């Protein structure tokens, strides 16, 4: 698989104990997919130390995703769990996701100009959210 872009998504759900990375993976597999459609995700995690944002592994990076029609064989997909149409994702979440994307950019020689929102390939979608600032994410990746 020749990767030349990264596509950013949101789950369009509230991050909670019932709508989580595991629930998304289960739903995608119930649709007959090999695994969760994304290569990585970011969600709020609860632990004994409190709450923090965690990067989560999805599909293997050499396996095409199931996240953007027409782009899956040449892209990596990352999902920020939450509904970012309603509000802006927290900075801590963006920073966590930017770390993953920065690593992918380095590993696959991808420019920050090749980081897209899902809506760039599906104009009928708001994904990764109306309140998701792609320029802010690109800035964080480039830092």
Ordered domains of the chain (ranges, CATH): 5-142 (3.40.80.10)
Per residue in 49-79, pLDDT tens?
Answer: 788 899 999 999 999 999 999 999 999 999 9
- Mean pLDDT for 23-30 is 92
DSSP annotation of 90 reads P
Q: Is the pTM of this model over 0.85?
A: yes
What per-residue confidence (pLDDT) applies to 14? 64
Q: Rounded to whole angstroms, what are the CA distances from 95 to 27, 55, 60, 106, 140?
A: 27, 10, 22, 16, 7
19 — pLDDT class (breaks 50, 70, 90): low
For residue 104, count other CB atoms closer than 10 A to its CB: 21
Q: Is the dihedral of CA 22, 26, 28, 32 positive or negative?
A: positive
List C-alpha distances in Å: 6 to 18, 53, 101.
Answer: 27, 20, 8
The predicted structure's pLDDT at residue 47? 77
Where does the pLDDT of residue 1 fall: very low under 50, low under 70, confident under 90, or very high at 90 and above?
A: confident
């Amino acid at each position: 698989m020749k990767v030349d872009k990264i596509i950013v998504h949101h789950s369009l759900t509230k991050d909670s104990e019932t709508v989580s990375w595991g629930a998304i993976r289960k739903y995608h597999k119930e649709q007959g997919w090999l695994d969760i459609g994304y290569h990585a995700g970011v969600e709020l995690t609860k632990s004994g130390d409190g709450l923090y944002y965690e990067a989560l592994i999805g599909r293997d990076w050499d396996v095409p995703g199931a996240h953007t029609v027409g782009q899956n064989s040449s892209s990596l997909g990352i999902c920020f769990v939450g509904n970012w149409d309603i509000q802006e994702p927290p900075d801590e979440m963006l920073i966590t996701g930017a770390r993953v994307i920065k690593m992918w950019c380095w590993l696959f020689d991808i420019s920050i100009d090749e980081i897209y929102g899902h809506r760039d390939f599906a104009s009928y979608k708001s994904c990764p959210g109306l309140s998701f600032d792609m320029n802010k994410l690109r800035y964080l990746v480039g830092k």
